[in-house]
């Protein structure tokens, strides 16, 4: 499976499949149906931290010199820019908490999306974004399944004219990744796992189930009261 995913990622240039052992253990934990919601969210946070470090490596650096107590200079490549995080409610929240631990001073934008389980298209219910002009933006969502939600998010973010868009996802499907790369090959997606199958309900297989439900509990549909 790992090998298949790696070969797939080599074929799609905009995907970075982070593969180290710590991440693999965390993905195992979120896939495990017996992981309770507290540990599920904790594991997602940790995955967010690791993937954020991968994005950090992609940001522009400048050479800075520091004079130490030994009266000697040391030169370092330092990241100066602070990316804007944009997370998709609700399943993106635990992953975003982890990303924020790395980018502590980042502004955070929110998009509330609900995927219609029949059409598999997302309705956008709420948009709250900071100024994105000429900024690096990291869109954070736990699952990249059909790619519909992410592509909607990308189109919304693009209206703000950012300099560069990155995506952090815990688990992505091959199909979703292909759609994103086809839409814009300059968007770089960082994912802890790439899965081969999307079932007829648009769920990733093997995946982990419903990320929002596993993080926060099952949704019970309530219709708007009429006034
Ligand atoms: C999940 C996830 C993504 C979306 C991915 O949200 O957070 O936003 O599904 O699916 P797609 O790639 O096919 O669009 P979900 O709709 O389950 O809502 P939730 O966060 O409220 O649980
Ligand atoms: N949303 C989820 O939470 N899980 C999937 O597998 C696909 C979409």
Q: Assign residue 121 the CATH number of its domain.
A: 3.40.50.2020
Is 89 part of a structural domain of the chain? yes
Is 3 part of a structural domain of the chain? no
Number of domains, the chain: 1
How far is ligand 2, taken at its centre, from the CA of residue 103, in Å? 26
pLDDT, tens only, 168-209: 999 999 999 999 999 999 999 999 999 999 999 999 999 999
60: exposed, middle or buried (C-beta count within 10 Å: 0-12, 13-18, 19+)?
exposed
Is 26 part of a structural domain of the chain? yes
pLDDT, tens only, 5-34: 444 544 565 777 767 899 999 999 999 999
- CA-CA distances (angstroms) from residue 211 to 91, 103, 122, 142, 159? 6, 23, 15, 7, 28
How far is ligand 2, taken at its centre, from the CA of residue 133, in Å? 31
Is 223 part of a structural domain of the chain? no
Cα separation, 180 vs 167, whole angstroms: 10
Is 65 part of a structural domain of the chain? no
Q: Is the CB of 147 under 6 A from ligand 2?
A: no
Is 227 part of a structural domain of the chain? no
pTM recorded for the entire structure: 0.92
Is 63 part of a structural domain of the chain? no
Residue found by looking up tokens 């009266």 in the block = 71
List CB contacts of 104: < 8 A, sequence separation 6 or more.
Answer: none
Is 1 part of a structural domain of the chain? no
pLDDT average, residue stretch 104-124: 89
Nearest C-alpha to atom 13 of ligand 1 is from which residue? Answer: 146
- Beta-ladder partners of 166: 138, 188
The whole domain housing 110 covers: 8-58+79-213
Ligand nearest to the CA of 211: 2
Q: What is the mean pLDDT of the chain?
A: 92
Q: What is the pLDDT of residue 104?
A: 97
């Amino acid at each position: 499976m790992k090998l298949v995913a790696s070969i797939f990622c080599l074929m799609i240039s905009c995907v970075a499949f982070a593969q180290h052992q710590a991440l693999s253990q965390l993905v195992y934990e979120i896939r495990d149906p017996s992981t309770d919601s507290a540990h599920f969210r904790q594991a997602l946070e940790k995955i967010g931290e690791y993937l954020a470090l991968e994005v950090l490596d992609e940001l522009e650096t400048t050479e800075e010199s520091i004079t130490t107590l030994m009266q000697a200079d040391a030169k370092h490549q330092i990241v100066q820019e602070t990316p804007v995080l944009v997370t998709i409610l609700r399943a993106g929240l635990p992953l975003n908490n982890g990303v924020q631990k790395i980018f502590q001073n980042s502004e955070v934008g929110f998009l509330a999306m609900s995927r219609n389980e029949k059409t598999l298209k997302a309705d956008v219910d709420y948009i709250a974004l900071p100024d994105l002009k000429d900024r690096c933006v990291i869109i954070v969502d736990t699952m990249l399944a059909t790619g519909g939600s992410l592509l909607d998010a990308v189109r919304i973010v693009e209206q703000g004219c950012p300099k560069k868009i990155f995506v952090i996802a815990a688990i992505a499907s091959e199909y979703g990744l292909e759609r994103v790369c086809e839409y814009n090959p300059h968007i770089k997606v960082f994912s802890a796992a790439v899965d081969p199958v999307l079932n007829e309900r648009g769920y990733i297989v093997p995946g982990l189930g419903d990320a929002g439900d596993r993080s926060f509990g099952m949704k019970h549909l309530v219709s708007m009261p009429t006034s």
